[in-house]
Structure 1
Amino acid sequence: MPRKESSDLALRARIALERLRSGEADRSLVNLLSQVIIITSFITRAGHGQLDIAEIEPVERGLAEVLSQADRTGVWNVPESLTDGLTAVVNEYDRALSVTRMEIVLKASDYLGKLVGSVARDTRTNDSHLQVAR
């Protein structure tokens, strides 16, 4: 991927992470960071990651729990331990985007698109909170 494009994507992820770290949390931030995790996880599982998948999965589960808790209670609580894990994933995302073959990144993006499409089809109400970060 051209460095300008990968830098732009990584910058968006870093800004979202910093906003989360500073205490700001909402669905759009969590969705964007969830997408970063999914793409990083795909690239790692395809054999192009330097972060162990066992380090990514707990971050993915932790972020899902933050979202679930916010849906139940209306309170956005992001533990510091989760932001530490998110930092590692965002760093790996940045690295992977700049060095992984474009074919793998495109497959990861297609995979993410299928997941989002599946969730959108499963969500049958007009008040869906699904927002894809673009």
Structure 2
Amino acid sequence: MNRSEKGSARHSAFAKRNRHKKGLFLPMERSAANKLVLPIRLALETLRRGRGRRDAIFSMVEVTLLVGFLIEAGDSVISKETVDSAERRLHRALEDLGGSDGMELDPELVETLTVVVNEYDRVLREARLISILEANERLGAFTHAAVAERRHLDA
């Protein structure tokens, strides 16, 4: 589940195609940020209440990866160690979850995820839109590669 060190978000194909669009160099509109953050906050609250459902955990994985990509791009203020710790512990939680759909997460992990979600919220409201879109592009590529690897291993 670790992010690859390959490539730089600063040189993505998306960024090269859209450098002339001034709106990409401004922060995201508040209403758009709110729409993205609300489901993540609800997933976090579900986990905080001890109802660790698979979809809530996957939401936290995606947010953790996005914040990690934003750290690598220089757009996040939390430490890489915080995000790496959350990634490792989420990975373990998913392994422990196995085929079941629910579990209670370690309270320390939930607190770390709270830090990550708060940073995600802040970045959506303050970072340049292009940085967020580049991180999202990297997440898509990462997810695609992980699915392809999983299919290869299952074959």
TM interval, shorter chain, is: 0.7 to 0.9
CA RMSD of aligned residues (A): 2.0
Instruction: Determine which structure has more spread, i.e. the larger CA radius of gyration.
Output: 2
Q: Secondary structure at the match of 1:123?
A: helix
Counterpart for residue 63 of structure 1 = 90
Q: Secondary structure at the match of 1:47?
A: coil
Q: What is the TM-score with the length of structure 1 in the denominator?
A: 0.86
Residues 1-134 of structure 1: pairs in structure 2 closer than 5 A? 1-71=28-98, 76-124=103-151
Q: Is the 8 A contact 1:39 1:112 kept in 2?
A: yes
- The Cα shift of 1:2 comes to 1.3
The one-letter amino acid of 1:111's match is R
- The Cα shift of 1:12 comes to 1.1
CA distance in 2, matches of 1:123, 1:114: 14
CA distance in 2, matches of 1:58, 1:97: 22
- The Cα shift of 1:75 comes to 6.5
Identity between Structure 1 and Structure 2 (%)? 30
Q: What is the TM-score with the length of structure 2 in the denominator?
A: 0.75
111-120 or 85-94: bigger deviation: 111-120
Closer, same or farther: CA 21–39 of 1 in aligned 2, 3 Å: same
Gaps (5+ residues) in structure 2?
A: 1-27
- For this pair of structures, how many residues does the alignment match? 126
CA distance in 1, matches of 2:44, 2:34: 15
The one-letter amino acid of 2:30's match is R
Counterpart for residue 17 of structure 2 = none
The one-letter amino acid of 1:110's match is E
The one-letter amino acid of 1:19's match is T
The one-letter amino acid of 2:41's match is R
Counterpart for residue 131 of structure 1 = none
CA distance in 2, matches of 1:75, 1:91: 24
CA distance in 2, matches of 1:120, 1:92: 27
Gaps (5+ residues) in structure 1?
A: 126-134
